Amino acid sequence: MVSFIFWSIISAPEKGVKKLRPFSNTLTNREQEILELFANRLCNQEIAEKLFIADNTVKRHATNIFRKLDVINRRKAVEKANSLGIIS
């Protein structure tokens, strides 16, 4: 699995002091596999057939990938994954 560490600011209620707290956002093995298939330009139906899963399952994984990588489409997901070294 690939982990991304983000930091979120939280307030300490006792003194109003702000601290940083780690936030982990991890791509599952299946999400990484689907991301590789996005890079190979397969459509949802082709991915579903290749992985023996439903088309709607591919769509759900895609939505999770976009959220975790903070992108809005496949092209941006592949670009960001390449730049982060998740896929090559």
pLDDT at 57: 98
- The overall pTM is greater than 0.75: no
Residue with tokens 């759900």: 60
pLDDT at 12: 42
Average pLDDT, the chain: 82
- Gap between the Cα atoms of 40 and 66, Å rounded: 17
Q: So where are the chain's domains? A: 26-84
Write out pLDDT tens, residues 15-39.
555 444 344 478 999 999 999 999 9
Residue 77: which of 65, 59, 88, 64 has the closest Cα?
65
Amino acid at 1: M
- Does domain 26-84 bear CATH number 1.10.10.10? yes
- pLDDT tops 90 at residue 1: no
